[in-house]
Structure 1
């Protein structure tokens, strides 16, 4: 299936206007003997002072010596006519420390590049605003804090970049009025939301040609404005903001100058307006990842200079207009992830001779071209997953000699792969043919040296796996992803793994593989995910896998294995361990608690015995919120090539039903030890796993109490403790589990009243049955007076012993006082005494029952206090 293009065209802003060629010319042609003029001594001392305040990990300033002419120092450039420093190129040097105000002594400095250093997120030095000769200032990805207003004094500045300083913000932008010469302005990722008049302010610069405001937390394009005076604007980047309204009509004012317009991921809605088609010089348009609806206007055919067009991931419907085939300069066309329907044929590509990148995936289209069609283009990437291409293999692919990416997953292709196909793929890098009905003997597969991703999952590939892995003609492969799951592969895993050392993701699950896991798999030192689930593999998990120290995911479930190895605790990068239904015996090793990053522990449906390790609280990923960027977890289970992702998927049973997790796997924290032979009590330490969402200990031989502090696990969505031998009351703290959507405590020996809470009473009575001494809603059995008293703590609280003892002592004193007050009155008043004894028989049982309840409670209190 084709994946989102977000990572490609959503970061293209990183490579736009950077003046690399301009600056490189100085680096490559710097000479020591251009002129006899020496560096000015004042400038030299200013630079040496600057150096003393900096930390220089890469030693890029090692040539800055008092014994050399500063005009020949690295990254320093002089005006050789007067011997004064004019440019400092200190970008991407890993410099730290403090920038000295000695820079102010460089009176002729006009070019200062500090981007990509590490000044520990300190504020931008305000003295930079006094360097009046600057025409180029780049401080991107370096500082944080408030952008100083003093920078508005730089009236000669033509280039100003703050880009990718995610800690920068402005309180207003009125200070910018002094930047009268500005031509290129980059504020990418700076927080501008406090300035509501940003558009009016920035449209007043007569020379502004490029404006970059990516991810600036802007919330309005002021669609009510009729006119915006960007007279010279060529590039406008406004992506990843929060506009949430229609595209304004004032864009038509930019028809004489605008070449690039980037508006992706802005929550824009409504139809694509006619104002867009007035931009007759437009070469680059990105409207992807919005909520635009309606059909694609046929007027796009009028934008004859268009080279790049992104309309993907919207709500566009209707058919694709054939006028798109008139865009003779078009190189990139992205229409995927929309609701477009109908047929695509040769006429849609009539004049697209320069087309290189085509993305149409996840759109209900029918690609219906003549079998003898020869396209006018030579594609580099073709993403056509989930659109109907079959039943025949598309023969037009043979003409594509430059293709590096092919996605034809879920395309309805039937029958045998044609003989020419595998030879044709010898120069391709990414191949996704998954979820079709393709038949092929794996011994016929030929992989060229360029192939990095081969996804043939969910097809009818057959033959011994060794005939593919061990063939000599592909031993020099560079394959990083191999997914051949859900096919008809057979035989034993080969011993040829030394030829596959580039592998990062390996999935051979759901085949007919037999034999053991070979020791030679330890050669896969780059492996991050290993999936061999649902085969007939037997024996031990070899210790050689310890060499695969990058493993994040191991799934050997549904096989015939022996014991969980003790060395598993050494796999400290593991995030997912799925060993369910594999006939494991023996104990759960304590070493499993060393897997501090583990988020999924699935050992269900085995024959494991012994107790649950009481050290599970050491799995910190389940006990504490994320201590690292969640993107690290996501990147561990996916592989990106150009605009396509390969994403791992794992089958889990979080709520009693098997579900497939892919991108959402990062949200899962699960322990499933169900259907084993575990004994002993549930360790109280399990309550420390406050980030756990799914807990299943059902169908074991567990005894004792449910941990009293289970209510502290407030992220729990599912708890299944059914079919054990648990006893005592349900802890009142369980009422705190407000996210519970599944609870099963059935068939245990629980007693007392079910604690009252909105959550616990919302479950069906079947979730509590099989506990004869349990009572209260939702069970049909009402609680007796004794059972009601056993569980009368306030909802969600467990009272401490001192509060309980004060309560019962006070109750005893009150009982004695009341008793003697009544008996004294009866002794002195004969009428009262006769009336009392006449009713004594009627209430003696009540007194007996009440007294026994109080005595039982006092006895429990005594035992508790004695402990």
Structure 2
């Protein structure tokens, strides 16, 4: 965390023969990593992470043989150093039998297909964003001490090996932003220590294995933006420690299982842009810690359950583009004290029926209700929202005067759409609060 403005790492560091800890990360060193660092035979921790500095270039020259001389090394981080796909990084690292942590992110390296290796004690492997184009190597499944595995943002393709399920110590596995295809291996359900499973932005297909319900320690499950189909397994309700469930952007069908109401620690639930049908289960109202709920872009029908009004920690509720019907009244909002974002758009079968004198318990910053039937009055749902920034009420069946209280909520608006209604009266003067006069409020 210094700034040496692209200077070379001094060769003198290679003469500190008793040194055990060397951290030069985020310091703006440039040039070539000095091979003299290989003289530090007692070194246990080496961190040369370039960080997010784009004004300097630190690179390896010809080879990394000097790494193999660091016989005591336990932690190695060369992130951001330009190693290149032509340099063999694996064999020098493979000669470090005590290595516990290996971090080679953004190094533009390849990954070899080998059958034997020495660093069996490795518990953390991070190869994030290296543009590696290959199948996931089978030898990874033999690193049985691994606790953390991140292969995110590469070009890994083919299937996730079933043998990954042998890594019983895994706590975090991140394979997102690759080109992985085929089914999710049911063997992942045997990873009893797993806390985070990140498989989003791939081409995975098939159904979600019911065996994932066995991951009793799981806190985050991200499977969004794949090609998964079938129903959401009932066994998902067994993940009682789950805090984040993100299944958006797939082809999931069937109903939302009532068992999701058992996820007492859930904070974020995103099921949008699937083909889910049926009703929103009443059990959703049991998720007392829920902060954000996305159900948009599905084929949900029937009434919105009144139990949603019990979610006192809910901050965002997005229901646009479904086939929900029925009346929304004050009871649906009774305890939503923390609600900040609400979208009911493109639900023409929903009717809003709240008293014009009702004062909501929340202050919205975002409200979208275009192509809805929330009129004929101007919605009192927003009358308490003095920090409202985005308001879309186009084609909302409103036949009313702009109320006096509208001026009190307009001072923070940067987007306002009241088109295709029968609204009369004077629009209050709306100030441009942006320091940039070009990016002021957009009124439609």
Alignment of 1:779-858 (within 5 A): none
Show the counterpart of 1:366: 253
Are 1:509 and 2:398 matched, yes or no? Answer: no
Q: Answer whether contact 1:520 1:544 (CA < 8 A) is retained.
A: no
Structure 1's 406 and 231: CA in aligned 2 closer, same or farther, altered over 3 A?
same
Q: Which residue of 2 aligns with 1:455?
A: 343
**Residues 1:480 and 2:346 aligned together:** no
Alpha-carbon spacing, 1:322–1:122, altered in 2? closer, same or farther (3 Å): same
Task: Tell me the equivalent position of 1:354.
Answer: 241
Equivalent residue, structure 2, for 1:287? 175
* Alpha-carbon separation, structure 2, partners of 1:391 and 1:289: 31
For 1:297 and 1:143, the matched residues in 2 are separated by 43
Q: Cα distance, 1:387 vs. partner?
A: 3.3
Give 1:847's aligned residue.
Answer: none
Give the structure with the larger helix fraction: 1
Query: Residue 222 of structure 1 corresponds to which residue in structure 2?
Result: 112
Alignment of 1:117-132 (within 5 A): 117=2, 119=3, 121-123=5-7, 125-126=9-10, 129=13, 132=16
Question: For residues 371-421 of structure 1, what are the alpha-carbon distances to aligned partners after superposition, in whole Å with 9 as ceiling and x for unaligned?
Answer: 588636542222111334432221221332222221111232223222222
Q: Which residue of 2 aligns with 1:300?
A: 188
Q: Note if contact 1:485-1:510 (Cα within 8 Å) is conserved in structure 2.
A: yes
Q: 1:145 aligns to what?
A: 30
TM-score by length of 2: 0.84
Contact 2:394-2:421 within 8 A present in 1 as well: yes
For residues 498 and 241 of structure 1, the distance between their equivalents in structure 2, rounded to whole angstroms, comes to: 51
What secondary structure, in the 3-state scheme, does the structure 1 residue paired with 2:27 have? Answer: coil
Query: 2:299 — aligned with what?
Result: 412
* Counterpart residue number, 2:434: 549
- What is aligned with 1:210? 101
Say yes or no: does 1:431 pair with 2:320.
Answer: no
Measure the CA separation in 1 of the matches of 2:283 and 2:382: 35
Q: Distance in 1 between matches of 2:411 and 2:47?
A: 42
Please list every run of 5 or more consecutive structure 2 residues that lacks an aligned counterpart in the other structure.
none
- Residue 121 of structure 1 and its aligned partner are, at CA, apart by 4.1
Q: TM-score, normalised by structure 1?
A: 0.45
Deviations 1:87-138 (A, max 9, x none): xxxxxxxxxxxxxxxxxxxxxxxxxxxx2x5x37433542662572544343
1:343-391 per-position Cα deviation (integer Å, ceiling 9, x unaligned): 3342x33743333322211222234477588636542222111334432
Does residue 249 of the first structure (1) align with residue 117 of the second (2)?
no
Could you tell me which residue of structure 2 aligns to residue 395 of structure 1? Answer: 282
1:196 to 78, 87, 108: 87
In the alignment, the residues of structure 1 paired with residue 367 and residue 288 of structure 2 have an alpha-carbon distance, to the nearest angstrom, of 23
Task: Kindly name which structure, 1 or 2, has the bigger radius of gyration based on alpha carbons.
Answer: 1
Aligned residue-pair number? 433
TM-aligned CA deviation for residue 170 of structure 1? 1.0
**What does the per-residue CA deviation read over 1:537-561, in whole Å, with 9 as the maximum and x for residues that have no partner?**
5677654323x226xxxxxxxxxxx
- CA distance in 1 between partners of 2:411 and 2:82 (Å): 43
Mapping for residues 439-450 of structure 1, pairs under 5 Å: 439-441=326-328, 443-446=330-333, 448-450=336-338
Q: Tell me how far apart the structure 2 counterparts of residues 121 and 208 of structure 1 sit (CA, whole Å).
A: 31
Does structure 1 conserve the Cα–Cα contact (< 8 Å) formed by 2:6 and 2:31?
A: no
**Aligned position for 1:22:** none
**Which residues of 2 match residues 273-672 of structure 1 at below 5 A?**
273-346=161-234, 348-349=235-236, 351-368=238-255, 375=262, 378-422=265-309, 424-438=310-324, 439-441=326-328, 443-446=330-333, 448-460=336-348, 461-463=350-352, 467=356, 471-474=358-361, 477=363, 479-490=364-375, 499-513=384-398, 515=401, 521=407, 524=410, 526-537=412-423, 542-546=428-432, 548-549=433-434, 571-574=437-440
Distance 1:544 1:336 in 2: 39
Q: Secondary structure at the match of 1:472?
A: coil
Q: For 2:79 and 2:426, locate their aligned partners in 1 and report how far apart those are by CA, in whole Å.
A: 54
TM-align CA RMSD: 3.4
Q: Specify the alignment match of 1:162 in structure 2.
A: 48
- For residues 294 and 232 of structure 2, the distance between their equivalents in structure 1, rounded to whole angstroms, comes to 17
Structure 1: runs of 5+ lacking an equivalent:
1-114, 551-569, 580-867
Deviations 1:419-455 (A, max 9, x none): 2222x22211222212113333465552633223222
Q: Is the 8 A contact 2:304 2:328 kept in 1?
A: no
Structure-2 change in CA distance of 1:327 and 1:206 (3 Å): same
Distance 1:425 1:121, change over 3 A: farther
Instruction: Answer whether contact 1:190 1:215 (CA < 8 A) is retained.
Output: yes
Does the Cα contact within 8 Å between 2:288 and 2:312 map onto a contact in 1? no
Query: Cα distance 1:523–1:159, how it changes in 2: closer, same or farther (>3 A)?
Result: farther
Q: Is the 8 A contact 1:121 1:144 kept in 2?
A: yes
Partner of 1:55: none
Q: In 1, distance between residues paired with 2:274 and 2:382?
A: 35
In structure 1, distance between residues paired with 2:108 and 2:221: 28
Instruction: Say if 1:154 and 1:413 are closer, same or farther in 2 by CA, change over 3 A.
Output: same
Are the equivalent residues in 2 in contact too, given 1:501–1:525 (CA < 8 A)? yes
Q: CA deviation at 1:143?
A: 0.9
What is the CA distance between 1:261 and its match in structure 2?
A: 0.9
Equivalent pair of 1:361/1:387 in contact (CA under 8 Å):
yes
Secondary structure of the corresponding residue to residue 278 of structure 2: coil
Q: CA deviation at 1:285?
A: 1.3
Find the aligned partners of 1:237 and 1:364 in 2 and give their Cα distance: 31
| Matched position secondary structure for 1:413 | strand
Seen in structure 2, the aligned counterparts of structure 1 residues 160 and 372 have a Cα distance that, compared at 3 Å, is closer
- Residues 573, 142 of structure 1: alpha-carbon distance in 2 compared, 3 angstrom cutoff: farther
Residues 400, 211 of structure 1: CA spacing in aligned structure 2 closer, same or farther, 3 A cutoff? same
Alpha carbons of structure 1 residues 296 and 309: separation in structure 2 relative to 1, 3 Å = same
Matched residues in 2 for 1:243 and 1:392: separation? 43
Q: Distance in 2 between matches of 1:246 and 1:388?
A: 31
Secondary structure, in 3 states, of the residue corresponding to 2:262? coil
- What is the match of residue 696 of structure 1? none
Superposition map of 1:90-105 within 5 A: none
Q: Determine the C-alpha separation between the residues in 2 that align with 1:239 and 1:345.
A: 31
Tell whether 2:120 aligns with 1:234.
no
| Equivalent residue in structure 2 for 1:264, among 149, 152, 168 | 152
Per chain length, whose mean CA-contact separation is higher, i.e. which structure has more relative contact order (CA < 8 Å, sep 6+)?
Answer: 2
Distance 1:497 1:353 in 2: 35
